[in-house]
Each structure stands twice: as structure tokens, then as C-alpha cells.
Structure 1
Amino acid sequence: MPDLVRPDLSLHYEIGGDGPPLLLLAGMLSDSATWAPLLPLLEPHFTVIRPDNRTTGRSTPWDAPVTVAHMVDDAIALLDHLGHDKVHIAGHSMGGLMGMEIAGLHPDKVASLSILASGPVRIPRGLAMFESLLAVRRCGPGGEEAWLRALYPWIFGPAFFETPENVETALGAALAYPHAQSADAMALQIEALRGFRPRSKIGDIACPVQTVFAGEDLIIPNDAARDAFRAIPNLTQSEIATAGHSIVWDAPNEVADKIMHFVQTA
């Protein structure tokens, strides 16, 4: 699939489907592949655009300058490159923060915004978790498997672990993935999240916005996020009770239904 050449980056993206444009923005440690469970559900209805954020996937170089502002500007440049005047956006976790920035800075470009398992709140525990996982990953032989095993209880809901094979299946797929983010790239992205300061105000977001919380989320404090989101004037809030932070993988059908229904009624 294609790449967009930026001044300091070659931005890889995937595009497929047919219909109104829908930009999907991945969260921490993830690239365009994180949306795989949603693609057969969304691509019959939308032209789905999935960039690999800086430090992830097939965007190169892996160590290009990176801040959340860089990633937001990459997404805007991609929309301009593709000729889309206005798009629907769905963002997961850090991708939700990116979507809010795009909607606040470029209100003319956003028809609707779906924010998945995310919130405009600072989360010291989440950063500490990412740093601990990075330390495990760098601990030596076996670190690649160990950090993934330590990650899964943070991101998946309890139902995921009721089937023991799920952990081994997820682990095997992650270890075999040829475009996995390296430990050094992971460190750069952690610093980008740590340094994030919004360039827009949440109350300036004018497009219809829905937030979809994960009831079993251990990373985003849902109560604090709900309160912060209330500054958005045109807001719908809902929850998928059984999903963990990795809401797209825990509950793909429910997430796809919420996106499609919201877009249709926005």
C-alpha cells in the first residue's frame, strides 16, 4: 500500500473499502494493523484510511522526530493528499487524543468524531505502566515475550483470559508480526505521550462527538474522562461493559455498530 512523503518522514497508510471517508487513528504501541477486527465490518460502508503513526509499522525512519503534534499534522497532511475535504474520525486511546486535536484545530475537516477507550486526562499510572513494560522488554533474552505477557492483563478484559488459548494465540501473532514497533521506537513514543500538551481546547470541538468507554479499562480512569468530556457541546457517551482497554479486539462488533450508527445520525 502507499506512502506519503513528508519533510522528515515517509508515512505509510492503508486504505480500503467504499463509501464516506473514515480515518482510523491507532493508539500507543499500535499501527494500522490494530484495526483488523473492524475492517470486514466497516469497509462495506466506508473508505477506511489507516495511517501508521510515527515510530510504528512501515512509516520510516522509525526514529523521525515524534510528538503527538507531529502525528496530528501527519494525519491532516494525509487527508489533504487524498483530497478529502471532510471525514469521519475514530481514534483509540492516544488516537482519540489525536482525533480531538484534529477536530479542534481543523473543525472544517471533521464530520464526526468517535473516541474509543480514551480521555483528555493525564494518567501517571499509564505512563508508569508503559515504562515498566519497556524495562521488561529490554531486560535481555526472553524480554520480547515477557513484556507482551505483562501487557495483556492491562489491555484485555477478563473474558479474554477465560479461554487459555487466547494468550498464546495473541503472543504468537505479535511475535510473528513483521512490522512490530521496536523497543527503541517504543521509548520514543512513550516520550511523545509524556510531552503531549493540547494545542486546542476541548470546548472548541464543534462536530458531533461520541465517546465509547470500556467498562473493564485499567488504563483510562473512566469517571475522570467522562467529566472532562462534558466540556464538549455536542456529545454522546456510552460504554461497552465487558471490554478492556483494547476495546477494538475485545468487542469489535459492538464498536463497529456504534461507529456506524453514530455516523448515520451525526
Structure 2
Amino acid sequence: MTTEPDAAFELQRVTIHGHERAFVRAGSGPALLLLHGLGCDHTTWFPAIRDLARHFTVIAPDLLGHGVSAKPRADYSVGGYANGMRDLLTVLGVDKVTVVGHSFGGGVAMQFAYQFPERTERMILVAPGGLGPEVTPLIRLITLPGFHQAMGLATLPGVRHVGKAGLRALSRTGLHGTRDLGEVADIYESFKDPRARAAIAHVVRAVVDMKGQIVTMVDRAYLTQAMPMLVVWGTDDMVIPATHANNAARTAPGAVVEIVPNAGHFPHKDHPERFVRVVQEFVRATHPASYHRGRWRTLLRNGPALPSNRAEAGESPMTPVAQLPGA
């Protein structure tokens, strides 16, 4: 698996609202905006980014508070991140994108599409947050008082090195539930920076409490009638259960759902060739959404239609290429 980019994927920086944003931009063609998950950065896309850049203009930022982007005391809400992506694209001279979001980045992608439909051609959601309450207890623990101090002790040099080695060793055992621990080790490493810990705590507390996820797109999923949507999930995801893909199939019946066997929470890293192929096929098979204020107004006024009404109206913009069993 490729984890390092070549010279074509040089990290660039731009300052917006006084805060430095880091990003990779490569390739040519229709634009893909790749949004990483909680505690990750643009490097999560490295296994797939080279092949994607052969067909698309790929823009992969480090979200504020992550990677080498600035980590200020700032707005870390989902809406705030969507605004930040709008501003980054504006500075880069990119008008419209297919927005691709993994995990928390999937929630940002959904919010971006909701806030800026005129700039969104498609949504591609990879094991996204926002489709149900369930989430791993490890993320819920971040919401507890004392997380910052406890993680400060857990990331002291000797403790951190032992912890990372243990997580990586477990990830190689092949035991059930250990597949994604190598990625967890990288996130754990990022927590050594107190600014990163503070930013991630703000992010999590905005979208999760001890009962699970509190931010959802389910009540607005009917708006995807006007926008092609692909959902990709690994069967062995222990962070956000793959059963949430059923919610996508149920609340957005036009969505394409691709379930990837033998993959965890990072299907784009577990099976990058398949991920790239699915993205290519989806973009090729769908027309980019065209924003019409009148149609958007009508959708908002009418609210979600009954499934039978959707079928009668023929409003689904695409044909699923890989549907959930029984969905």
C-alpha cells in the first residue's frame, strides 16, 4: 500500500482569515475535494490520490486543527468547516466540486453540500458520520471532562511510543476489531500536540455526546433528490457501523451504496484500487447537479416525499451500481 506521495503532491499553504491552511493539489479534470476524518490529515488519501489525480483535479486539505494546518482557538463546528472549505476553494479559483468526505469529513461534506448546493456537483461519503447515533466509545470518551489532561499524560514520550507499538502490533494480528488500530496509532501520535488535542475535543463535542452522534443529515436527506450521492462503507468498520449505510439507502433512495468486503473504517486505504474504480464509475455514470433556486425552494417547501411519490415523479438522479443486500 502506498503511504507516501511523489514530488507531484507537494504540500502547499495558503492563509485565510489569518490562519494557515495546508493542502495538496494535483491532477486535472473535474475537481474532487477530499476531506479527511477526525484526527487524520490529507495523507489518509495517499493510497488512492495518485490514481485519482490521473482523472480529476484533486484537492486534499488538512482541516483546521489537523495535520500541519493552523490550530487556533476557533469555530470547529461542522458548519464552520464547510465555510472554511468554501473559502479555500474560492481562493484556489475552484468554482464547483464533487465533495468526498471520510468519517467526520463525510459530515462536513454533507454540510457543505447543504450550505452550498450551487458549488456541489456530487457527494461521495466514505463511512461518514451523520447517518445514525452509533459511534465507537473511544470517540465518546473525548467528550468527557479531563480528556485533555489524561491524553497529555498518555502522550508523554515513553508512554506514547509503547502505546503506538502496541496498537500497531494488534492491527497486524488479524483479530476481529483490530484492523483499524494502525490508523488509531497515527491519530494517537497527533494527540501529542496540545493544540491538536484541544481542537479535536472541540470538534467531537460539537457532534457527539455520551449517547452517540447528535448531528444528523437524515432529516435533510430528501434534498439529495437534486444531487447524486455515493456511500462507500467497509463491512468490518468498528468505528461507525456499516449498518448506517442502510439509513442512507432508506432516507436517500437514489443514493448509490457500495459495501466493500474485508475493509474497515478506511476502505479507501484497505482497497484503494477498488475505491478509485468506484469513484470513477460513479462520476462517469452521473450528471453533475445543477443548482436551481426554484427547485431547491420547492424541495424545502414540500419536505420529504413518500417513496411511492418519488418513484412516480422519477426524481432519482441516478441508478445504483451496488446496493445493500435487502435494502
Pairing of 1:196-235 with structure 2 (within 5 A): 196=207, 197=215, 201-205=220-224, 206-228=226-248, 230-235=250-255
Closer, same or farther: CA 148–258 of 1 in aligned 2, 3 Å: farther
| 2:39 partner SS | coil
User: Which stretch of the first structure deviates more once superposed, 122-131 or 251-260?
Assistant: 122-131
| 1:219 partner SS | coil
| 2:25 partner SS | strand
How far the C-alpha of 1:27 sits from its partner, in A, is 0.3
Say whether the 8 Å CA contact 1:25–1:95 is kept in structure 2: yes
Say whether the 8 Å CA contact 2:107–2:128 is kept in structure 1: yes
| 2:277 partner SS | helix
Cα-Cα RMSD: 3.2
Pairing of 1:1-266 with structure 2 (within 5 A): 1-120=11-130, 121-123=132-134, 125-128=137-140, 135=150, 138-139=153-154, 140-149=156-165, 161-162=173-174, 174=186, 182-196=193-207, 197=215, 201-205=220-224, 206-228=226-248, 230-266=250-286
Say whether the 8 Å CA contact 1:113–1:210 is kept in structure 2: yes
CA distance in 2, matches of 1:251, 1:62: 35
Closer, same or farther: CA 195–258 of 1 in aligned 2, 3 Å: same
CA distance in 1, matches of 2:194, 2:25: 27
User: Which stretch of the first structure deviates more once superposed, 6-15 or 140-149?
Assistant: 140-149
| 1:217 partner SS | coil
* TM norm structure 2: 0.67
Q: How many corresponding residue pairs?
A: 254
CA distance in 1, matches of 2:56, 2:191: 27
Closer, same or farther: CA 253–112 of 1 in aligned 2, 3 Å: same
How far the C-alpha of 1:211 sits from its partner, in A, is 0.5
| 2:251 partner SS | coil
Say whether the 8 Å CA contact 2:245–2:257 is kept in structure 1: no
Closer, same or farther: CA 22–38 of 1 in aligned 2, 3 Å: same
* TM norm structure 1: 0.81
CA distance in 2, matches of 1:149, 1:96: 29
CA distance in 2, matches of 1:62, 1:181: 16
Closer, same or farther: CA 65–217 of 1 in aligned 2, 3 Å: same
CA distance in 1, matches of 2:107, 2:269: 19
CA distance in 2, matches of 1:55, 1:147: 23
How far the C-alpha of 1:36 sits from its partner, in A, is 0.6
Whose radius of gyration is greater, 1 or 2? 2
Closer, same or farther: CA 184–5 of 1 in aligned 2, 3 Å: closer
| 1:4 partner SS | strand
Closer, same or farther: CA 184–61 of 1 in aligned 2, 3 Å: closer
Sequence identity (%): 26
Return the letter of the residue paired with 1:256. V
Closer, same or farther: CA 186–246 of 1 in aligned 2, 3 Å: farther
User: Which stretch of the first structure deviates more once superposed, 100-109 or 133-142?
Assistant: 133-142
Say whether the 8 Å CA contact 1:56–1:180 is kept in structure 2: no
How far the C-alpha of 1:85 sits from its partner, in A, is 2.1
